[in-house]
C-alpha cells in the first residue's frame, strides 16, 4: 500500500501544473535577483495610476534581455496556471451539481 502512496505523490509532484508552478517560482526568483524590485515600486508610485501604462511599457522596453525573458516566462506561465485553475474549478463545479 505504501508504493501506491509513493506513486501518487510522485505523480502529483511531477504533474504539468506542478512543473509550471516550479518554473514560475524560478522565473520570479530570477527576476527579483536581476532587478531592484523595491525601486521599481518606488518609481511606479511617483508616476501614479494615470501614468501606469507608459511607465510599464517604458520599463519593459528599456531593460536587459534576461529581464524581458523572465517577464515573458512569468506572463506565459501565469496565464497557463490561471487557465489550469479555472479549468479545475469548472470541472469541480460540474461534479458537485
Nearest Cα residue to 23 out of 81, 64, 67: 81
Residues 6 or more apart from 43 whose CB is under 8 A from it? 55
pLDDT digits (tens, 9 = 90+) for 33-56: 999 988 988 988 998 888 899 999
More confident residue, 96 or 29: 29
At residue 96, does pLDDT exceed 90?
Answer: no
What pLDDT does 38 receive?
87
Place of cell 511599457: 57
Residue 1's pLDDT band, with cuts at 50, 70 and 90, is: confident
What pLDDT does 2 receive?
78
What pLDDT does 95 receive?
59
CB atoms under 10 Å from CB of 77, counted, come to 20
Q: What is the spatial distance between Cα 81 and Cα 64, in angstroms, rounded to a whole number? A: 26
CB atoms under 10 Å from CB of 27, counted, come to 20
What pLDDT does 94 receive?
57
pLDDT digits (tens, 9 = 90+) for 59-91: 899 999 999 999 999 999 999 999 999 998 887
How is residue 90 annotated by DSSP?
A: H
**Cell numbers that stand for 97 in this block:** 451539481
Amino acid at each position: 500500500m505504501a508504493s501506491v502512496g509513493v506513486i501518487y505523490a510522485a505523480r502529483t509532484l511531477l504533474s504539468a501544473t506542478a512543473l509550471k508552478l516550479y518554473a514560475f517560482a524560478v522565473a520570479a526568483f530570477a527576476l527579483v535577483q536581476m532587478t531592484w524590485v523595491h525601486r521599481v515600486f518606488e518609481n511606479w508610485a511617483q508616476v501614479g495610476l494615470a501614468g501606469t501604462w507608459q511607465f510599464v511599457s517604458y520599463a519593459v522596453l528599456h531593460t536587459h534581455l534576461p529581464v524581458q525573458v523572465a517577464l515573458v516566462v512569468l506572463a506565459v506561465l501565469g496565464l497557463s496556471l490561471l487557465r489550469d485553475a479555472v479549468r479545475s474549478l469548472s470541472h469541480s463545479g460540474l461534479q458537485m451539481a
